[in-house]
Copies of this chain bind each other. A is one copy, B any other.
Amino acid sequence: MLKVGLLGAGRIATVHAKAITAHRKSTLVAVSDMIAENAKQLAANFGCEVRTTDEIIDDPTIDAVLIATSTDTHSDLIERATAAGKAVLCEKPVDLSLERARACQAAVAQSGRPVMIGFNRRFDPNFSAVKAALAGGEIGKAELLSITSFDPSPPPVSYIKVSGGLFRDMMIHDFDMANFIMGETPVSISAVGSSIVDPEIGIAGDVDTAVVTMTYADGKIAVIKNSRRAVYGYDQRLELLGSEGLLQAQNMLENTMVKSTVAGVTGAKPTYFFLERYMPAYEAEWIAFVEAVETKSTFPVTLEDGVTALAMAEAANRSLELGRAVLLEEVAPVLA
């Protein structure tokens, strides 16, 4: 039985608490949060103790730590938890600073403890079906990948200001998805973006609509489209053209009802947001984490994956600024 400490008690921490307590082989021992009330409520709902972060990290009977705190604390907590010998699952992104993330990576390497980064979408049954079909040779070799990733509505501008920007906060999932599907990192990254959804987002220095194009060493191309607003719901699709066919992962819908009237033929909308769409993915992510810890095998998403996605976000930022393609090695010379 894997004994787990949960750092953070907010919305995403609650998602993880569900997955931890639902798993036969893991138990939630304790939770910590800066806001005492949050920790207390999560503890009550899931039947665990409230402790401080230090108490959790220092408890030798706790095997694993799940980090679901604010992004600016991730690197520190990863370093402290691995130094204390814990297996770690940390929410994305590793950090807003690529430099800090890479320092963290170095520290973790010294600890010898593995860290898994919470790119939950890799565990979505639809995207993983695409990955499996490609791996099975069902469409020959990959040539052109398109990822569509739209949120239902933009977050408050106050959040935008501390988010690190669309590329690090939102598209980072799609950078990782491209890496997951393509099985390699791109050579070059070009970004365009604007704040057409909400000019206030532009005033805050960010974009709300963006397209990033990436090229690979052998000529493959990937394109990622992001918007902070799709009023019909969470739009999460991808399609991959290969030498022998096309694979598409389409949206999951709220239900399968179709209504035909004089006004047209209407079906349900996509599931509303990430909690609805990706709850099964969060559960599968936790199952994969527990299994990897148990069998001492490599995590399916590594700290290096987290740092790579961050470097791609950095390159996209620079491309947007410079109006030209940016090589990934310009941003992260050691990686390339």
Q: List the interface of chain A (C-beta within 8 A of B).
A: 22, 125-126, 129-130, 133, 138-139, 143-144, 146, 148, 150, 188, 190, 192-197, 209-211, 213, 215, 218-221, 223, 225, 227, 229-233, 235, 241, 243-270, 323-325
The reply to whether B257 and A247 form a contact with Cβ atoms under 8 Å apart is yes
A73 smallest CB distance to B (angstroms): 31
CB distance from A335 to the nearest CB of B (A): 21
Point out the residues of chain B lying under 8 angstroms from A193, CB to CB: 221
Query: Is B213 within 8 A of A190, CB to CB?
Result: yes
Task: Select from chain B the residue with minimum beta-carbon distance to A189.
Answer: B192
The reply to whether A209 and B219 form a contact with Cβ atoms under 8 Å apart is: yes
- Interface contact A220-B235, CB-CB below 8 Å: no
Judge whether A209 and B133 touch: CB under 8 Å: no
- Residues in B with CB closer than 8 Å to A267 are 264-267
Closest B residue by C-beta to A195: B219
A146 to B224, CA, bound (A): 11
Contact B227 A241 (CB under 8 A): yes
With a cutoff of 8 Å between Cβ atoms, the chain B residues found around residue A253 in the complex are 265
Partner of A221, one of B211, B241, B265, B324: B211
Q: List 13 A-B contacts (CB under 8 A).
A: A125-B255, A133-B257, A144-B211, A190-B190, A196-B219, A231-B245, A232-B246, A232-B260, A232-B264, A248-B257, A248-B260, A264-B268, A265-B268
**In the complex, what residue of chain B is closest to A22 when comparing beta carbons?**
B22
Chain B residue at minimum C-beta to C-beta distance from A199: B219
- Selected contact of A211 from candidates B223, B245, B263, CB within 8 Å: B223
